[in-house]
Structure 1
Amino acid sequence: MALEASSPLDDAHAPLAGGQLHWLRAGRVAIALAPEAGGRIAQMRYDDVDWLVGECEGRAAVIGWGCYPMVPWAGRIRRGRFSFDGKDFVLPANLGAHAIHGVGFTRPWQIDHLDAATATLSLALPEDRHWPFGGVATQAVRVLPDGLDLRLAVQAGDRAMPAVIGWHPWFRKPDQLLFSPRAMYPRDGEGIATLPCVSPVPGPWDDCFINQAEVTLEYAGQRLRLRADTDHWVVYDGAAHASCLEPQTGPPDGFTLLPRRLVAGERLELRFGLRWESEIPR
């Protein structure tokens, strides 16, 4: 698989830089890691079935393939604007009028450890117009014989910062999605989450939900169970070729809706577990 030229953060639809794929394996599971392509997982494979939209499929753009980390914010920040510690900030727009998915998914990550089934990666966050606070993001990837454990963290540097983190997997369109959230954030005319939360409405969705239950996908005769140590999930299933099930530590526009302040040196972590079954129980 070819990874293309690197894009600036200002264009979330530009192709990414070429780089080497690192395959991690255990049992029936194989994971293709692409550190230079925004620290993302390029493919998840179980029993020779590929579960993720690849770079050359679907939208085939930086924002639309694989499974990438969203740091230090997840989802849209309305018009790139938020207030923190009494000061107003404006981030560059990279999806229409809004700033989306952080700064990690378009930048190369450093490999700190790599073996047959595990990897750790890190990214020094910028201190510039794209993100004025600095800090460090880290990932840990562990492949199991029947699954995958992911850990994503962001740590503030020598100054306080806001933070919302998450993963953005682009799963190939499942045959069935089993998802029973207890509430959702309604969206306004700009397509941005708002408060107060309401009872879930039928899909298709591009919405943030409150959910603490397991999420299940069925595809190609296999079942994939998803769990995370958060109660916020964004679900996008309006595309014909893919569905996105995104665990996040807070909602889109979270710096305004549900602020999380990290003091200097403080760390925020999110764990995401995926488990496969080769035959769907009936």
Structure 2
Amino acid sequence: MPIDDAEAPLPAGRLHWLRAGRLEVALAPEAGGRIAQIRYDGVDWLVDAREGGAATIAWGCYPMVPWAGRIRHGRFDFDGRAYALPTNFGDHAIHGVGFALPWQIDSVETDSATLSLKLPEDRYWPFGGTATQAIHLTPNSLALRLAVQAGAQPMPAVLGWHPWFRKPDQLLFSPEAMYPRDEEGIARLPLVSASPGPWDDCFINHADITLVSAGQRLRLRANINHWVVYNAAPHATCVEPQTGPPNGFTLAPNRLEPGQHQALRFELRW
């Protein structure tokens, strides 16, 4: 899978199933270290590769690392130097590099797994570093931890998870504010009150978010206050916790010094 085409097909590859009680999770480490399916009490919650048309960015639940959302034209400044990343989604660079690269399984148990990825140090991402995931199931919850650690040089970082949920019956969500989008669809400041939707927007939100589907209620929470919600598609709704907004390297820069790490925790509870 070339990193420079986020809409190219990406097969799931070998699946590793984790289980705890009524909860089952299928890991696809070769397909960008993503979760291919989340099944609770027989109900599949995620759009799978076939339903997503196999486009790399359109199925499962994948890590966005070392940036989340779009970087305008792939361009940003860091430490006084201008960088230009390859554009892979129209005119912009989207969702990092982790979703398109194979991850290594470092450990796997019946109800848990850890994965890692050595980030490139090339035109796709010039800073290097390491990304890790930890996944743990209980009979009624799924805990995800995504982290990135800078290598020998400083780096910017925005992390996120991108779950493609099958269209729920209800989305219970009351954000405090949102980033408006400009004519290129890129988030900007200042913050405004949330519009009624449909959305493809980044919000400030501190409360739990709930999805209702097939008689089940799924509560989402994370250790951050930035959430992107995309609910314009007829078949899916994406609810994405992020450590910062899209275009974050410019809009809200975050710097990691050599050896420093940033982590995102995301809990799904039935």
How many equivalent residue pairs? 270
Equivalent position of 2:27 in the other structure: 33
Equivalent position of 2:168 in the other structure: 174
Correspondence 1:85 to 2:91: no
Equivalent position of 2:128 in the other structure: 134
SS in 1 for 2:73: helix
Correspondence 1:240 to 2:216: no
Equivalent position of 1:279 in the other structure: none
SS in 1 for 2:249: helix
Q: For residues 58 and 79 of structure 1, what CA distance do their matches in structure 2 show?
A: 25
Q: For residues 15 and 57 of structure 1, what CA distance do their matches in structure 2 show?
A: 12
Give deviations 1:218-267, integer Å, cap 9, x for gaps: 00111000000000000000000000000000000000000000000000
Give deviations 1:176-225, integer Å, cap 9, x for gaps: 00001000000000000000100111010000000000000000111000
Q: CA deviation at 1:58?
A: 3.5
Between 193-202 and 13-22, report the one with greater CA deviation: 13-22
Contact 1:31/1:45 (8 A) holds in 2: yes
Q: CA deviation at 1:147?
A: 1.1
Q: CA deviation at 1:18?
A: 5.5
Moved over 3 A (4+): none
Give the share of equivalent positions with the same residue, in percent.
71
Q: CA deviation at 1:16?
A: 1.7
SS in 2 for 1:105: helix
Give the TM-score normalised by structure 2. 0.99
Q: CA deviation at 1:17?
A: 4.6
Q: For residues 58 and 72 of structure 1, what CA distance do their matches in structure 2 show?
A: 23
Equivalent position of 2:112 in the other structure: 118
Contact 1:79/1:97 (8 A) holds in 2: yes
Q: For residues 149 and 233 of structure 2, what CA distance do their matches in structure 1 show?
A: 34
Q: Which runs of 5+ in 2 are unaligned?
A: none
CA RMSD of aligned residues (A): 0.7
Between 165-174 and 52-61, report the one with greater CA deviation: 52-61
Give deviations 1:103-123, integer Å, cap 9, x for gaps: 000000000000100000000
Give deviations 1:82-134, integer Å, cap 9, x for gaps: 00000000000000000000000000000000010000000000000000000
Q: Which of 3, 7, 16 is the equivalent residue of 1:9? A: 3
Q: For residues 25 and 64 of structure 1, what CA distance do their matches in structure 2 show?
A: 24
Give the TM-score normalised by structure 1. 0.95
